[in-house]
Amino acid sequence: MAWFFLPYSTCILNVPTSPFYSSLVLFLVPSWFILTPVLYSSPLLQYFTAVLYSSPDCSTLVFDCSTLVFDCSTLVFVPALPLVNIYHTLGAVGASTTQLYTDRAELRPEIEGPGSFTFFAPSNEAWAALPTEILDALVSNVNIELLNALHYHMVNKRLTSEELKHGATFTSMYQDFNVHVHHYPTGIVTVNCARLIKPDQHATNGIVHVVDRVITAISNDVHTIIDVDDDLETLRTAIAAAGLTAMLETDGHYTVFAPTNEAFEKIPQETLNRILGDPVALRDMLNYHILRNMQCAESIVTGTPLETLQGTVLEVGCDRNAMTLNGKAIVTKTDQLGTNGVVHYINELLIPDSAKTLLELADGSNVPTATRLFVEAGLHSHLTGSEALTLIAPQDDAFKGGESMTPALKTLLSHLILKERLSSKSLYHGQELETLGGLKLRVFVYRNNLCIENMCIAAHDRVGRFGSMFTVNKLLSPPTGTVMDLLKNQDRFSVLVGALQTAGLTELLNQQGALTFFAPTNDAFNSIPTAERNRLLRNSAELSRLLKFHLSEGLLVSGGVSSHTRVTPLQGERLELGMRNYTVYVNRVPVTDADLMATNGVVHAVSRIIKPLRQYFSLNISRSTVQSIIRKWKEYSTTANLPRHGRPPKLTDRTRRALVRNVTKCPKLLESSSVLGS
């Protein structure tokens, strides 16, 4: 095979590792240079030589992690070079060491002669990576072992990379042992977990695929690999106890992340004994280490979620050259290939939620304060036993900090354990849930949230061996009597209580139902001018209208408020609610203390009297045009177009008349810039 060679400087471009390309060598001349692929690993970069017109530097080609970009208008392809036989192709594609060993093993006549072969040729670097003792054994045994090894890299027919289908096996030329091919969705192709780094190198008598390692014949299944390794003794015992031996001996494409003896020793003995003594938990734990599909190390792309036999997923990725599981670099040995899968060794045991107690679920979540307090409250036995329970665990932000155990807190925490195992998906609006402490908690379903009393679920459920865990955003505010009882028990509502009695609303706030009360505090009433306040507090009818405007049917906790929530008060048109910086606003009045729970409703304290919002009109014209029209009406009593620079506003007579009517009704409209938007 002839290659262009020019006596000029050579520029090496190191391209990020990718299934599409590796690196290119550019032989430069003053205004032309030859582009020759040296290492690539995709059919997208076929074997070619191109002449590219450019400046004599390396900046013409732009690379990123998935695309080769260049100016196609300057690219000229030259005719493909003549094909040669496999032996000479090996020397031209970076497999000269393989070519040398074919001479030593007297394989050269076979791969120079007639036939149609596929040769998975180890690169020069692959041979250099072999341990010295293995390489010496191969080349010193009268070449028989070396010949056998090379024959195992060969298939007696031509197979392009497109024909190397995922999960396929092909009979090698060494004693009919199979080679195992996997073609992944990323475009990566492996043979016995060796990656094809330069596929589809056509020859006159076959095809060469350069691979990144020397492959060896396999005859053991996955279970045998585990069975013969003393470092996996504990795992072997656990597999037998869980009844998984037969599965790992049958045909399949398994990936086993095999915890070593050291990994088991890192687990607290109490936890390990519990799992080993529970067949269901043990089987779940072991199945969590087994993927449904075979994944060689070379196939892994960072952040790939892969389904396990246990039913959940493992996040399998890579950190530089190390494989990671759930973000941890715990894989110590990779690609121990069997006839029905591959084994990767790990030094840390993976325990799925389904094998954990409630306390272990809490320990593994972002709720350390709640976890500590549950133990201090003497609830350890409930969280580590086999009762079917649901734990409600508040996030750390729900606590004020520095909580110490008191009888009241202990009672409160007992209300955060429900007497049955629940899923948040099965909860419905109005449902009542009984706690260990005997309290009934209500469920509220909103468009944007699912809440239990004032606590809204903040994360996905975690389902353990016997119980479930809900993570919530707040600490429980248990109901403490009716709405009227709650108001009477707090001095800040003393004026409101008197006003409610004057307005004749005490019975309404004591009866069964579901009310939301935006309750004005004493500060809210004191903000009213004295004379007006005194007049208001003596007028029962006006008080009733005012207070009913602060009341609505239906129980709405703060977690149910979204950016545009409307409720209908008992009297008046509507209340506009919104959430900003974790504060609820009602008609632009901030709620100072939210979610005071009562048996017949919820109270939200406000420090200002809530007033109806102005009813503003909306026209599809710009703010400046509206202001100009209003100014002309006020100054000249006309809305006709006056001489001015620029293009006059395009208003129909109908729109102008509507604008004038609204300005007449609302003379302060010009000052209210917030409603003059387009």
Q: What is the pLDDT of residues 390-401, one digit of tens each?
A: 999 999 999 987
Higher pLDDT: 203 or 58? It is: 203
Q: What is the pLDDT of residues 370-381, one digit of tens each?
A: 999 999 999 999
Q: String of b and e for 66-90 (b: at least 16 CB within 10 Å)?
A: eebeeeeeeeeeeeeeeebbbbebb
From CA 551, how far away is CA 515, in angstroms rounded?
Answer: 7
* pLDDT higher than 90, residue 16: no
What's the whole-number mean pLDDT along residues 126-138? 86
* pLDDT higher than 60, residue 24: no
Question: What pLDDT, on the 0 to 100 scale, is given for residue 142?
Answer: 58
- Per-residue confidence band for 137, with pLDDT thresholds at 50, 70 and 90: confident
- Per-residue confidence band for 133, with pLDDT thresholds at 50, 70 and 90: confident
Residue 311's CB is within 10 A of a number of other CB atoms, namely: 12
Residue 565: beta bridge partners?
Answer: 577
How large is the angle between the packed helices 368-376 and 407-414, nearest 10 degrees?
Answer: 110
From CA 266, how far away is CA 113, in angstroms rounded?
Answer: 58
* pLDDT higher than 70, residue 101: yes
Domains 356-472 and 483-606 share a fold: yes
Nearest to 174 by CA among 115, 215, 116: 215
Q: Which fold has domain 222-348?
A: FAS1 domain (2.30.180)
From CA 360, how far away is CA 150, in angstroms rounded?
Answer: 52
- Per-residue confidence band for 136, with pLDDT thresholds at 50, 70 and 90: confident
Residue 481's CB is within 10 A of a number of other CB atoms, namely: 14
What's the whole-number mean pLDDT along residues 157-167? 94
Q: What is the pLDDT of residues 44-70, one digit of tens each?
A: 333 333 333 233 333 333 222 222 333
Residue 430's CB is within 10 A of a number of other CB atoms, namely: 10
CATH number among 3.40.50.150, 2.30.180.10, 3.40.1050.10, 1.10.357.10, domain 356-472: 2.30.180.10
Q: What is the pLDDT of residues 505-517, one digit of tens each?
A: 999 999 999 999 9
Question: What pLDDT, on the 0 to 100 scale, is given for residue 487?
Answer: 96
When mean pLDDT is compared across 119-128, 133-142, 283-292, 574-583, the lowest value belongs to: 133-142
Q: What is the pLDDT of residues 258-271, one digit of tens each?
A: 999 999 999 999 99
Question: What pLDDT, on the 0 to 100 scale, is given for residue 406?
Answer: 92
- Among the residues of 385-489, which ranges form H helices? 407-414, 483-488
Question: What pLDDT, on the 0 to 100 scale, is given for residue 144?
Answer: 85
Q: 578: Cβ–Cβ under 8 A, 6 or more apart, which residues?
A: 561, 563, 564, 565, 584, 585
Q: Which fold has domain 483-606?
A: FAS1 domain (2.30.180)
What's the whole-number mean pLDDT along residues 109-135? 93
Residue 187's CB is within 10 A of a number of other CB atoms, namely: 14
Q: What is the pLDDT of residues 315-361, one digit of tens each?
A: 998 887 788 898 889 999 999 999 999 999 999 999 999 999 999 99
Residue 456: beta bridge partners?
Answer: 451
Domain ranges (residues) in the chain = 10-77, 86-211, 222-348, 356-472, 483-606, 623-675
What's the whole-number mean pLDDT along residues 611-622? 64
Q: What percent of the chain has pLDDT over 90?
A: 67
* pLDDT higher than 60, residue 668: no
Into which CATH architecture does domain 86-211 fall?
Roll (2.30)
Question: What pLDDT, on the 0 to 100 scale, is given for residue 214?
Answer: 95
Q: String of b and e for 270-304 (b: at least 16 CB within 10 Å)?
A: ebbebbbeeeebbbbbbbbbbbebbbbbbbbeeeb
Q: What integer best gives the mean pLDDT of the chain?
A: 83
What's the whole-number mean pLDDT along residues 652-674? 58
Q: What is the pLDDT of residues 468-496, one digit of tens each?
A: 999 999 999 999 899 999 999 999 999 99
* Its pTM surpasses 0.75: no
